[in-house]
Amino acid sequence: MQARIPTSFALATLVALLAPTLALAYDHAPELPTVTTALSPLPKSPVPDVTSLKTAKPAKLVDEDAFREKDVWGRIRSGYAIPDVNNDLVAKHINWYATRPDYIARTTARASLYLFHVVSELEKRGMPTELALLPFIESAFNPNALSSANAAGMWQFVPGTGRDFNLKQDAFKDERRGILASTDAALTYLQRLYDMFGDWQLALAAYNWGEGSVQKAIKRNQAAGKPTDFESLADLMPAETRNYVPKLQAVKNIVANPQQYGLNLPLIDNSPYFTAIDKTSDIDLTVAAHLAELSVDEFKALNPQFKRPVITGDEQTKILLPKENAEKFHLNLSQWTKELSTWSTHKITSARESIRSLASRFHTSPEVIRQANNIPQNSVLKAGSTILVPKISTSASIDIAPDVAENANISYEAERASGKTAKGYKLPKAGKSDKSSPVALVKARVSRDAAHGKKHRKASQ
């Protein structure tokens, strides 16, 4: 008969045998993050939220390496992956930037608000981090930049391209200017171009010139038995595109070693500058800024996509705020007793509805209506236009319907014109492309004049 071992003795023996293993596992276990509520006080040096960061290759620990850097510039340098260009154009552009420290200071000050987000998005996609410097070339990191070709925002999307990448453009907002939406669209397009050409320099040329133009240049060199890399195609490119990659290389070189060129880059903390909060109902832009304890200009710098004095939209609409101001916003909102929005919409049904008569009807001044709707002086509204007007008591608690905001348009003509429209102005409806200028993926940023050697320059400052 086999002796029975007491259960307690067997358990004790098992624990003793496993003790070293359990101790080793405990020593190497990751420390669990501390969970805090959204309204808890923010630390002076907040720990970045890296839970949403993902790498293209699971084996590569990009997230951990990225946050070992002291600032975002170091993080960008560590992810350089596009082959260098070294020619006279690069030297020319380095000299231009190096002799303009004030310009560098203004541009990097604007960039400090957005760079952490852009670099994080690039790392999530496994893309070269020097692409975060592309807005330096496109817009000087000015989300309100508008080119002569009507390219808008930090990444300079023209209207048709913006719609191709689901950037809404209606009477109330233009997502080509929005930080989150435009960055996502730009990186998606750049990756698509790289997949098309298998070369980042050609992808950048296509981003500026259009993929069709780059494809034609490649075929032309192939037919002539010539190489098809960027520098071999440069002679076939307009001046703007020929300088595009060298400009990025110049900025890349400066960021790599600013002291070498007598420049200093401001410290940009390697932590999120802003956070996104939900907008649960219509809210005046000035009220939102007030609740966040920001100036209107500071608020607009993070939310440049909102074109009117009221922020409309569905539950997907987000407001960006500096992390330390998000808590203030929620606290002040919980104590707010007034209306969040003072605006509604009105559709013009007759040419007899003048701005003066509308102002009287809605207890305001003609100038307020003109400013709220960007209506020039000495012009009259045309029937069918949908405009912003101050709320009256009967509509005090009603939000502007999303379909009204998306489909609203404003048309006007000169006050003394004989049937001719002064500006022919009509805001595009979301989801419709410009029929007069069809696009496949993207419209070329280089105008026809520029392609023939004429001067073309973006209004990026």
Asked whether 410 and 386 are in contact (CB, 8 A), the reply is yes
Strands 412-414 and 318-322: unpaired
Q: Which residues are catalytic?
A: 138
Q: How far apart are CA 3 and CA 26, in angstroms?
A: 36
Contacts with 202 (C-beta within 8 Å, 6 or more apart), sequence order = 193, 214, 218, 228, 229, 230, 233
Distance separating alpha carbons of residues 390 and 369, to the nearest angstrom = 8
CA 55 from chain center: how many Å? Answer: 21
Query: Which sign does the torsion angle of CA 56, 62, 67, 73 carry?
Result: negative
Q: Specify whether the CB–CB gap between 151 and 174 falls below 8 A.
A: no
Distance (Å, rounded) from C-alpha 209 to C-alpha 457?
A: 14
Whole-angstrom distance, CA of residue 41 vs CA of residue 112: 23
| Tokens of residue 296, six digits | 């209107």
- What's the half-sphere exposure (Cβ side, CA atoms, 13 Å) at 342? 14
Give exposure, 387-419, as e/b (b: 16+ Cβ within 10 Å): bbbbbeeeeeeebbebebbbebbbbbbeeeeee
How far from 190 is each of 78, 155, 185, 196, CA to CA, in Å?
20, 11, 9, 10
Please state, as a whole number, how many other Cβ atoms lie within 10 Å of the Cβ of residue 103. Answer: 13
| Ramachandran quadrant class, 374 (left: phi over 0; alpha: psi -120 to 50; beta: rest) | left
DSSP per-residue string spanning 411-431: -EEETT-SS--SS---PPPTT
CA 304 to CA 290: how far, in whole Å? 16
The secondary structure element, H or E, covering residue 390 is strand 386-390
